Amino acid sequence: MVRYSLSRDPGTGTDYHAHSKRVINKDGSFNVKKAGLGPNTRNAYQSLVKMSWARFFLVSFIFLFIVNGVFALLYTWVGIEKLGEVEEKGWFNEFMYAYYFSFQTFTTVGYGIYHPIGHLANVISTIESIIGWMCFALVTGILYGRFSKPSARLMYSEKALVAPYGNGRNSLQFRVANMRNSMLMEMEATVLLSFVDKSRQNWKREFTPLLLERDHILFFPLTWTIVHPIDENSPFYNKAKEDIETMDAELLIRIKGYDDTFAQTVHSRFSYRCDEMVWGAQYHPAFDIDSNGDIHLFFDRIHHYDKLDTSTAFSDSSN
């Protein structure tokens, strides 16, 4: 922890005068609210790319109906007779037929049964067709941005385990698997322990990296159990479960790797708080080999573990 002792502001903050919520949420986002930036500094494209599909389609349709509604109003203002012969009369009918014509122009369908007559209607429909043309290019780009955005979808075991590790030692473990059909390679894992030093009056949040038995693997077709040995260099060494809880401990996890379908490096974040760690347990294997020699990976088994009877330094105090 010596390397970090001088860093007053290493990106995650150190001066915490109060209890805070978890640092990394379960979806990988950080628990920070930003203020003091005008709306112009938000990146509309990033929002449109990141929002859910349901929301994206809702936003798109509302946008389409408003834009076309504005043009429909313009056409009714010009006069519906400038769009051709409308069978049904009345402001509602006129507005609706203007609306249909607007969409026929915007989407460039242009049946022609309705068509602009006179300069004003022609100028408005020309402008609308250009706007539709541009909006289409925008939507194409956003849609491509949405589904081509590289991202990892890892399944993390629900619980991190404090499991025996041979020679009477313990280890902290969690397990991940790749939920996508893509192949992940050259995986790297980094685990930070975040805890609050309450020994001083001004609480300090500290971040210290946990040494891993193996922090990278080449291929990742099955499951990967990431193991932090609890030896004399570990901040967990000789600590009971209660000590860890008092420290407001949280494991901050970053796993990255090369995704063969996206052909790019993808990142995943996750965290375990104290109540998501189990003292004295061991994971079930999550895959089987059938009689044909085929290997089957079962995602529902990623979370499965056995409580151990053997009392260890940790389980002593927790069970």
Smallest gap, in angstroms, from Cβ of residue 193 to its own copies?
12
Is 246 one of the binding residues for its own copies (CB under 8 A)? no
Smallest gap, in angstroms, from Cβ of residue 263 to its own copies?
4
On whether the CB atoms of residues 48 and 94 are closer than 8 A, the answer is no
Cα angle at 250 between 245 and 254, to 5 degrees? 160
165 versus 319: smaller Cβ distance to its own copies:
165
Residue 183 DSSP class: P
Residue from 59, 148, 237, 306 in contact with its own copies (CB under 8 A): 148
Closest CA relative to residue 251, chosen from 300, 185, 177, 189: 189
1 versus 123: smaller Cβ distance to its own copies:
123
Calpha distance 175→183 (Å, rounded): 17
208 SS3 class:
strand
Calpha distance 26→251 (Å, rounded): 12
Residue from 59, 77, 141, 311 in contact with its own copies (CB under 8 A): 141
Calpha distance 280→267 (Å, rounded): 30
Residue from 58, 63, 140, 242 in contact with its own copies (CB under 8 A): 140
Q: Indicate the residue type of 254.
A: R
Is 218 one of the binding residues for its own copies (CB under 8 A)? yes
Smallest gap, in angstroms, from Cβ of residue 48 to its own copies?
9
Residue from 2, 52, 85, 181 in contact with its own copies (CB under 8 A): 181
141 versus 316: smaller Cβ distance to its own copies:
141
Is 71 one of the binding residues for its own copies (CB under 8 A)? no
On whether the CB atoms of residues 23 and 30 are closer than 8 A, the answer is yes
Calpha distance 189→226 (Å, rounded): 8
Is 74 one of the binding residues for its own copies (CB under 8 A)? no
Residue from 105, 234, 312, 315 in contact with its own copies (CB under 8 A): 105
Is 150 one of the binding residues for its own copies (CB under 8 A)? yes
Is 63 one of the binding residues for its own copies (CB under 8 A)? no
Calpha distance 7→14 (Å, rounded): 9
Q: Tell me how long the chain is.
A: 319
Q: What x/- string results for residues 269 through 298 when contact with its own copies is judged by CB under 8 A?
A: x-------------x-x-x-x-xxxxxxxx
Number of residues that bind its own copies (CB under 8 A): 136
* Residue 11 C-beta-side C-alpha neighbours within 13 Å: 3
Residue from 183, 196, 240, 274 in contact with its own copies (CB under 8 A): 183
Residue from 69, 129, 158, 318 in contact with its own copies (CB under 8 A): 129
